[in-house]
Amino acid sequence: MDAQRTVRRQISCVGIGLHSGNKVNLTLKPAPADFGIRFRRTDLGHHEVPATVDNLAGIQLATGLASNEVAVETVEHLLAALVSVGVDNVIIELNSPEVPIMDGSAAPFVYLIHEAGVKPLPAARKFLKIVRPIAISRGDKRIALYPSDHFKVTYSISYDHPLLRHQSRTIRITEDSFVDEIAPARTFTFLKDVEMLRQNGLALGGSLDNAIVLGETGVLNNALRFEDEFVRHKILDAIGDLALVGYPVIGHLVAHRAGHALHTEFAAKILDESQSWKLVESPAETLAVPLAAAVKAAAAPRLAN
Ligand SMILES: [Zn+2]
């Protein structure tokens, strides 16, 4: 049995909101078993917004949530860090609508969680194990989950840009692989889109400190952290958006040219298709286990005779 976990102690950081450009205080606080991941707006009467598909709102360039008109935005990098480091239950306090963008990756959040430490709680973790494929496609954008004994992600992207004609990566997600291979990958944007975003009052906090900016032929930043940092960041976004199902997923996620809108639509579809998964207490648990138990139970009265 895997125990549910929370952060060992309260911890805070300060950053800026990508879109507002405003300073934001973020605090992670321990929470009890079966509490889940909930945002709390300290500037709005501590109103809570649970990180679930039911509260999805305003998917544009990032993933937003809202409950009773109280919003939290740009949640995906923090959610990806929490679920990948194995934090099931936590209170995330914010004094502004946006989760701070930090350096555009999940690495600062991993650092924060590791600094706080993680502790087990006296309750079993439940995993959402895929037993039949679930898929969505919209034109050439696709996303699907297939049965697997582990959580794996295959992502491929292609953009009309010399650096991004095609990138693809498959990775089994464990805490270590996430921390080393995925968390440091930064968000990216195209220079031609930056002006448009600014005119619409978005990305006011955006800079080369928190995003890779792609010019006509290359990147404006000094260096990439990985040669295929772009597709790694898409994997990071998908993990964060998938966290909204409320359980760690055991299955092989395969996505092509998807984005937040498709990721989150897919997260909602997973919960709707309840015949395609089951909740288990161990990732290795298979359908054969309850079947064997059922056979044994059926045989028991005869054996007793
Ligand atoms: Zn992202």
Type and span of the H or E element at 235: helix 229-242
Question: Known catalytic residue: 233?
Answer: no
Ligand 1 mean position, distance from CA 300 (Å): 54
What is the whole-number distance in angstroms between the Cα of residue 263 and the centre of ligand 1? 12
- pLDDT given at position 300: 46
Question: Do residues 142 and 258 make contact, with C-beta atoms less than 8 angstroms apart?
Answer: yes
Work out the percent of the chain whose per-residue pLDDT is above 90. 78
- The rounded Å distance from CA 295 to ligand 1 centre is 47
245-281 pLDDT, tens digit each: 999 999 999 999 999 999 999 999 999 999 999 999 9
pLDDT in tens, 109-167: 999 999 999 999 999 999 999 999 999 999 999 999 999 999 999 999 999 898 899 99
Angle (CA) 256 77 281, round 5°: 80
Rounded to an integer, what distance in angstroms lies between the CA atom of residue 264 and that of residue 60? Answer: 11
The rounded Å distance from CA 257 to ligand 1 centre is: 14
Give residue 19's pLDDT: 85
